[in-house]
Structure 1
């Protein structure tokens, strides 16, 4: 009983410190929403540090994909505060998923929203019977690299190789 009591006390403290985060909803995007494309362009610019070519058609294709699952954090005022994508596929070694393009808008950073997005993606992957959930994170993203082990990810010593097939940077 003591642990449960401590959990609720910690939750109350977090809600007191960051009430706006607990008033947000994380929603699976199943259709285009007003302002979503503009928010995603902003998020991708923050993620990559450069302008990205991401069109409204790209958003529609992403939403229509049966293997890609886009989630957004919606603030109490209806604005978009962050996003995360879970991409699921079947391989000979099991059902796998990758977490892609995790972004918390600059205005909402440092309040636990990245953790909420990651936990939501993990819970979703479990409902999809995923055997192995992976992600990559640029070493320069200090806060993200501190977050992922706290949510249960283990750092794996491996090499990641990429090849651009359309002339853009990966």
Structure 2
């Protein structure tokens, strides 16, 4: 199926949250109950207002098949280079393994280049070994360990 990309809209939130929740890790941390938890709308609106944040939806004639969040981060390292950070890369379960994930990463690359980014970075949970293989297959290189501190 042909895929098109667009900025996410508020109306996409139920589908986006459902994709975030559709694995063992997400099922334990996301809230898919109706009505949708208002925290999701608050977060979406904050992202939508920021010129350095995007949520992109992959659409086909069948509907939303995937999405990702792209953040543009300034930094001093690498001679003041900007970085693109891609997060929450999700493909809806019925569409996994059909190339949509690769198309989403390919879509993000020119967006990063247009913003002057020198690096596109991401992190993936240690348990997501399929995701690790996918990212390595499309050219990402493991360079760092990622750490988080819950607040």
TM-score surpassing 0.5?
A: yes
Q: Cα distance, 1:50 vs. partner?
A: 2.2
Of 88, 91, 95, which residue of structure 1 is paired with 2:72? 88
**Cα distance between partner residues in 2 of 1:140 and 1:162:** 15
Aligned residues: 139
Q: TM-score, normalised by structure 2?
A: 0.82
**Match of residue 28, structure 2, among 50, 75, 92:** 50
Which ranges in structure 2 are unaligned for 5 or more consecutive residues? 32-38
CA distance in 2, matches of 1:56, 1:38: 10
How far does residue 51 in structure 1 lie from its aligned partner after superposition?
A: 4.3
Larger Rg: 1
Match of 2:4 among 13, 17, 25: 25
**How do 1:97-112 residues align onto structure 2 when only pairs under 5 Å count?**
97-112=84-99
State the alpha-carbon separation in 2 of the partners of residues 41 and 151 from structure 1.
26
Query: Are 2:85 and 1:66 equivalent residues in the alignment?
Result: no
Query: What is the match of residue 153 of structure 1?
Result: 140
Contact 1:119 1:151 in 2 (8 A): no
How far has the Cα of 1:113 moved from its partner?
Answer: 0.5
**1:164 partnered with 2:146:** no
**1:46-88 CA distances to partner (integer Å, 9 max, x unpaired)?**
25232425522221222222211111111214x2111111111
Cα distance in 2 between the residues matched to 1:111 and 1:25? 15
Report the aligned-residue RMSD.
Answer: 1.8
Q: Which runs of 5+ in 1 are unaligned?
A: 1-19, 166-170
